[in-house]
């Protein structure tokens, strides 16, 4: 095969998506050519694919911020043809052609060897969302979080990061409270490990600098006003891992929880995690932190299904994880 399908994002001058054939490239020095078996749909992919976020650095570009598959050709000493690998971050699908294609050419230093216990399918059910959830968990634990602090809030609970975080936290013995605007998913969220599901409106009245300290910590994917509200309710020395901005990027925050209770806000950026930590997190996702992947996977689509999936995700009509299978044969 000399050509392969790719989901290309154009701005010429209108923003548009097209499934187009591309000629299979050869890797340059230090690069690896990966035959992509699976990718996934992340919130950033939806923003980039619809043009509703200023995500892309150049056009045209192959979308997809993650991918998993096997090495086809290698000009990197650490990888040989046939090696199973994972690619996330480092500008994939933003400034470098990404995983929504039959093949991905990328620097070998961006790849992670597939850990024992995962394959391409399970790795992409996790994908960037799973790696981000693992980074959030790593950051709060390194900063002293433990189950004895009290229940952990997970906002945006029905999304990829949120649902994976719930399953991982519950597996590690944390009590988890899911925060979601989707009452119809209450049973599903409880099945993942949440002991309670709350509507975000339950926090709307938390406007005093300090409210009753109830929650041990939080993994927040929403940001903005909800993050401000829950910060006032965290117990002394609790942690909030900040991983998303689905509710907005501005934050009007009282510093009193930080000063008087020692609450920590921990930012999480999974794009450029140093490789030693990146590999460690993938090992944990394959083993002791592995969430309930089959319960979190909600659908599998081909490249042609991406535009509709992007629209549904931004409209709040998806939950869990959407797997993408670029190859047709």
* Domain identity same for 171 and 217: yes
CB atoms within 10 A of CB 317: 10
pLDDT digits (tens, 9 = 90+) for 233-277: 999 999 999 999 888 888 999 999 999 999 999 999 999 999 999
* Domain identity same for 136 and 107: no
User: 3-state secondary structure string, 190-224?
Assistant: HHHCCCEEECHHHHCCCCCCCCCCCEEEEEECCCH
State what percent of residues in the chain have pLDDT above 90: 92
Q: Residue 247 burial (CB < 10 Å; 0-12/13-18/19+)?
A: middle
Interval 115-144 mean pLDDT:
98
- Inform me whether the pLDDT recorded for 306 exceeds 90: yes
What is the pLDDT, as a whole number, of residue 1?
A: 54
- Inform me whether the pLDDT recorded for 279 exceeds 70: yes
Interval 55-72 mean pLDDT:
95
Tell me the pLDDT band of 304, cut-offs 50, 70 and 90: very high
What is the pLDDT, as a whole number, of residue 79?
A: 98
What is the pLDDT, as a whole number, of residue 2?
A: 80
Percent of residues in the chain assigned helix, strand, coil, to nearest 5: 30, 30, 40
- Inform me whether the pLDDT recorded for 310 exceeds 90: yes
184 occurs within a structural domain: yes
β-strand pairing of 66-74 with 15-23: unpaired
What is the pLDDT, as a whole number, of residue 87?
A: 98
DSSP 8-state secondary structure symbol assigned to residue 92? B
The alpha carbon dihedral of 22, 24, 27, 33 has a sign of positive
Tell me the pLDDT band of 66, cut-offs 50, 70 and 90: very high
**C-alpha distances in angstroms, 274 versus 18, 19, 33, 170, 196?**
34, 33, 22, 27, 35
Work out the mean pLDDT of the chain and round it to a whole number.
96
For residue 76, give the CATH number of its domain: 3.90.180.10
Contact in structure between 38 and 68 (CB atoms under 8 Å): yes
Tell me the pLDDT band of 328, cut-offs 50, 70 and 90: low
CB atoms within 10 A of CB 311: 15
* Domain identity same for 262 and 158: yes
Q: Residue 145: which domain range?
A: 129-267
Contact in structure between 64 and 93 (CB atoms under 8 Å): yes
Spatial neighbors of 168 by CB under 8 A, at least 6 apart, are 133, 134, 137, 289, 290, 291
* Domain identity same for 133 and 238: yes
What is the pLDDT, as a whole number, of residue 247?
A: 86
Contact in structure between 236 and 257 (CB atoms under 8 Å): no
Distance CA 268, CA 249 (A): 14
84 occurs within a structural domain: yes
* Domain identity same for 33 and 142: no
**C-alpha distances in angstroms, 324 versus 9, 77, 176, 186, 241?**
16, 29, 29, 26, 28
Q: How many domains does the chain have?
A: 2
Phi, psi of 265 (to 5 degrees): -100, 120
120 occurs within a structural domain: no
316 occurs within a structural domain: yes
Return the SS3 of 72: strand
287 occurs within a structural domain: no
Tell me the pLDDT band of 39, cut-offs 50, 70 and 90: very high
235 occurs within a structural domain: yes
For residue 194, give the CATH number of its domain: 3.40.50.720
* Domain identity same for 257 and 142: yes
């Amino acid at each position: 095969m000399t050509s392969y399908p790719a989901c290309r994002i154009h701005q010429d001058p209108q923003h548009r998506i097209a499934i187009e054939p591309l000629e299979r490239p050869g890797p340059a020095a230090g690069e690896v050519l990966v035959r992509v078996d699976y990718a996934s749909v992340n919130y950033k992919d939806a923003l980039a694919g619809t043009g509703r976020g200023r995500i892309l650095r150049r056009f045209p570009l192959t979308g997809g911020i993650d991918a998993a598959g096997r090495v086809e050709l290698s000009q990197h000493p650490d990888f040989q043809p046939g090696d199973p690998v994972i690619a996330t971050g480092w500008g994939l699908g933003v400034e470098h052609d990404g995983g929504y294609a039959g093949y991905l050419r990328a620097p070998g230093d961006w790849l992670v060897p597939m850990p024992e216990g995962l394959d391409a399918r399970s790795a992409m059910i996790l994908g960037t969302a799973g790696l981000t959830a693992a980074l959030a968990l790593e950051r709060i634990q390194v900063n002293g979080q433990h189950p004895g602090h009290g229940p952990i809030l997970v906002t945006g609970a029905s999304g990829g990061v949120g649902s994976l975080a719930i399953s991982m936290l519950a597996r590690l013995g944390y009590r988890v409270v899911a925060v979601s605007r989707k009452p119809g998913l209450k049973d599903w969220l409880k099945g993942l490990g949440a002991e309670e599901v709350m509507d975000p409106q339950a926090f709307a009245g938390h406007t005093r600098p300090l409210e009753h300290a109830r929650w041990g910590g939080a993994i927040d994917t929403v940001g903005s006003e909800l993050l401000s509200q829950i910060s006032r309710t965290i117990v002394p020395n609790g942690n909030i891992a900040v991983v998303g901005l689905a509710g907005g990027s501005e934050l009007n925050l009282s510093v009193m929880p930080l000063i008087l209770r020692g609450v920590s806000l921990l930012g999480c950026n999974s794009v450029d995690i140093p490789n030693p930590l990146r590999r460690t997190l993938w090992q944990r996702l394959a083993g002791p932190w592995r969430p309930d992947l089959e319960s979190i996977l909600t659908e599998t689509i081909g490249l042609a299904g991406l535009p509709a999936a992007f629209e549904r995700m931004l409209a709040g009509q998806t939950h869990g994880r959407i797997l993408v299978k670029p190859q047709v044969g």
